[in-house]
Amino acid sequence: MTTQPRTYEVITYGCQMNVHDSERISGLLEDAGYARAHGRDQADIVVFNTCAVRENADNRLYGNLGHLAPVKAARPGMQIAVGGCMAQKDRATVVKRAPWVDVVFGTHNIGSLPVLLERARVERASQVEIEEALTRFPSTLPTRRESPYAAWVSISVGCNNTCTFCIVPQLRGKENDRRPGDILAEIRALVDEGVQEITLLGQNVNTYGVEFGDRLAFGKLLRACGEVDGLERVRFTSPHPAAFTDDVIAAMAETPNVMPSLHMPLQSGSDRVLKAMRRSYRSTRFLGIIERVREAMPHAAITTDIIVGFPGETDEDFSATLDVVRASRFSAAFTFQYSIRPGTPAATMADQVPKPVVQERYERLVDVVDEVAWVENKRFVGETVEVMFADGEGRKDSATRRISGRARDNRLVHVTVPDGVEAPRPGDIADAEVTYAAPHHLNADGAVGRVRRTRGGDAWQRWQDDPVGVRPSVGLGMPLRRPEPMTTAASQGCSRE
């Protein structure tokens, strides 16, 4: 009689770094013999990978833990684990507020999860293990990727900044840079598996190289990605405006597979607020970077993060933010209402802005962001854009043959595929004529060029044909050690590592 494997479900809150960490968690569990469940109420193990940046992440976590308490009580052997930034910060609080949680683990010891789960099962007691410092990159761990044609690649972990609203540096530690050769080895291995789009990840990707004293390292890495055969699209997130250098702009413009899209957090358009946030740039520098990016790449899409209601923010400060939004012509913005995060300097600042004022400003900001984005999107009506079709994103309407994907600048495009044109698979690419623009997407209901069947689409097809047989990718990172600097010739400096 065959024993069914225990099943798991991973629930993720937070940024792209957390999403990538969840792929590692899934890979670890599958490598340990677990199988993915079809829902948290059916899973034998439920793992919450948490964020500590916003207050509603706390509320969502404890609300979901409360929902699972009776489910676990009715299912002997079920286990619950909490990891990520909130676990790193509130290690004791999690078990105190939810004593039915079996494992609490931090951002630095993801690899310990299978052992901790087994120890909790045998000892019938909660296990709390938090490492204070990173000992190896998560990229050394097995991975269960969520996409066969697109992947995340971490180039650094941690942050050296001291923004007064952010607790991430306390939870993920100082910046550690991976060796460039290890990064490129992982990218090449992913491309061999069918990946054609990668996103380079770091808390501040453009400070990459700080450990080995090369301020130009990130631009060199982008150029080296341009020499990886089969890699069609390269993106990165998120750069810090204070460290943004012209060599990165040149690398973006001169490397064909580096996409003309830039996500660069503004946070506030007020110089006074930026100083209080301890953001080491001012609005003129931010706007200057955008101007130079558009000079090099006129059609680049620029997105951002903005916080409304930071302590002491006045009407004049908020108006300055609106001015920068209009001048920047953002194609989209992730907008947030400031919330107090215990442990950050901003939490104890005077002049906390009343909630009704924050809400009113937030609504005005969203209106302006949408207005600006809509104007920017309307420029594309009548233009032809290259779309890489995506799985699980946007609209999939078989009746109208409308399929969604991303343009090179990362805009969401809903494409109507005419009768007689081969339907694209996720990962396939086609040129499509834009016929309509909305603030958050484009419609392409006009001419569609020949669908180019790609290696990424082939990889997606293999996943569909044999989902059980797909195994996690193997992490290719190396233990932490000081990287060697890249030489001036980017590709040589990276490939020789």
CATH number of domain containing 276:
3.80.30.20
Query: Are 399 and 250 in a shared domain?
Result: no
| Residue 263, CA atoms < 13 Å, CB-side half-sphere | 19
Position 496 pLDDT exceeds 80: no
Which of 129, 160, 179 is at the close of a domain?
A: 129
Determine phi and psi for 21, rounding to 5 degrees. -60, -35
Query: Are 190 and 309 in a shared domain?
Result: yes
For residue 54, tell me if it sits in a domain: yes
**304 neighbors 376 (Cβ within 8 angstroms):** no
- Secondary structure E strands in 390-435: 396-397, 402-407, 412-416, 429-433
Q: Is the peptide bond before 261 cis (omega within 30 degrees of 0)?
A: no
Query: Are 329 and 252 in a shared domain?
Result: yes
Phi-psi region for residue 428, left (φ > 0), alpha (ψ -120 to 50) or beta? beta
Query: Are 36 and 185 in a shared domain?
Result: no
Domain with 398, as residue range(s), is 384-455
Residues 6+ apart with CB under 8 A from 348: none
β-strands 402-407, 384-389 pairing: antiparallel
β-strands 384-389, 332-337 pairing: unpaired
In whole angstroms, how far apart are CA 295 and each of 300, 327, 416? Answer: 10, 15, 33
Structure tokens at 476: 């290719």
Maximum mean pLDDT: which of 86-90, 156-160, 220-224: 220-224
For residue 492, tell me if it sits in a domain: no
The residue-averaged pLDDT of 445-467 equals 88
Closest CA to 385 of 353, 418, 417, 408: 408
**202 neighbors 208 (Cβ within 8 angstroms):** yes
Q: How does residue 455 score in pLDDT terms, banded at 50, 70 and 90?
A: very high
Task: Look at residue 404 and give its three-state secondary structure.
Answer: strand
Phi-psi region for residue 456, left (φ > 0), alpha (ψ -120 to 50) or beta? alpha
Distance CA 310, CA 340 (A): 9
For residue 176, tell me if it sits in a domain: yes
Each residue's pLDDT tens digit, 344-394 = 999 999 999 999 999 999 999 999 999 999 999 999 999 999 999 998 665
Cα 21 vs. chain centroid, distance in angstroms? Answer: 10
Which of 346, 378, 410 is at the close of a domain?
A: 378
Which of 378, 409, 443 is at the close of a domain?
A: 378
Query: Are 142 and 287 in a shared domain?
Result: yes
Query: Are 227 and 147 in a shared domain?
Result: yes
Q: What angle do CA 430, 433, 439 make, to 5 degrees?
A: 105
Position 480 pLDDT exceeds 50: no
Query: Are 67 and 183 in a shared domain?
Result: no
Beta bridge partners of 237: 201
Closest CA to 373 of 434, 432, 302: 302
Distance CA 138, CA 202 (A): 12
Neighbours of 176 (CB within 10 A): 20
For the four alpha carbons of 402, 406, 407 and 409, in that order, the dihedral sign comes to: positive
**7 neighbors 35 (Cβ within 8 angstroms):** yes
For residue 72, tell me if it sits in a domain: yes
Maximum mean pLDDT: which of 50-64, 266-280, 482-496: 266-280
Q: What is the pLDDT of residue 488?
A: 30
For residue 495, tell me if it sits in a domain: no
Distance CA 315, CA 319 (A): 6
Please tell me the pTM assigned to this model.
0.84
Residues 6+ apart with CB under 8 A from 465: none
Q: What is the pLDDT of residue 494?
A: 32
Maximum mean pLDDT: which of 198-212, 260-274, 334-348, 410-424: 260-274
Buried b (16+ CB within 10 A) or exposed e, 362-378: beebeebbeebbeebbe
Task: Look at residue 152 and give its three-state secondary structure.
Answer: strand
Q: What is the CATH number of the domain that holds 90?
A: 3.40.50.12160
Counted domains in the chain? 3
Residues 6+ apart with CB under 8 A from 62: 97, 98
For residue 100, tell me if it sits in a domain: yes
Closest CA to 401 of 430, 440, 380, 379: 430
Q: What is the pLDDT of residue 478?
A: 34
Position 397 pLDDT exceeds 60: no
Each residue's pLDDT tens digit, 13-72 = 877 778 888 888 888 899 888 998 877 678 999 999 988 766 667 778 889 999 999 999
The residue-averaged pLDDT of 314-338 equals 97
Task: Look at residue 415 and give its three-state secondary structure.
Answer: strand
Residue linked to tokens 């802005």: 353
Query: Are 219 and 288 in a shared domain?
Result: yes
Q: How does residue 228 score in pLDDT terms, banded at 50, 70 and 90?
A: very high
Position 224 pLDDT exceeds 90: yes
Query: Are 203 and 341 in a shared domain?
Result: yes
Closest CA to 374 of 442, 438, 326: 438
Q: What is the pLDDT of residue 58?
A: 75
Maximum mean pLDDT: which of 23-32, 207-216, 249-258: 249-258
Task: Look at residue 24 and give its three-state secondary structure.
Answer: helix
The residue-averaged pLDDT of 220-247 equals 96
Distance CA 368, CA 323 (A): 10
For residue 19, tell me if it sits in a domain: yes
Closest CA to 380 of 447, 297, 437: 437
Of all residues in the chain, the percent with pLDDT exceeding 90 is 60
Distance CA 198, CA 122 (A): 40
In whole angstroms, how far apart are CA 211 and each of 30, 40, 174, 179, 240? Answer: 34, 41, 10, 10, 17
Query: Are 279 and 326 in a shared domain?
Result: yes
Q: Which of 120-124, 193-197, 322-326 has the lowest mean pLDDT?
A: 120-124
Q: Is 245 exposed, middle or buried (0-12, 13-18, 19+ CB in 10 A)?
A: middle
For residue 116, tell me if it sits in a domain: yes
Residue linked to tokens 């001169």: 254
Residue linked to tokens 């650094």: 156
Query: Are 230 and 183 in a shared domain?
Result: yes
Neighbours of 306 (CB within 10 A): 22
Of all residues in the chain, the percent with pLDDT exceeding 70 is 88
Query: Are 103 and 142 in a shared domain?
Result: no
Q: What is the CATH number of the domain that holds 449?
A: 2.40.50
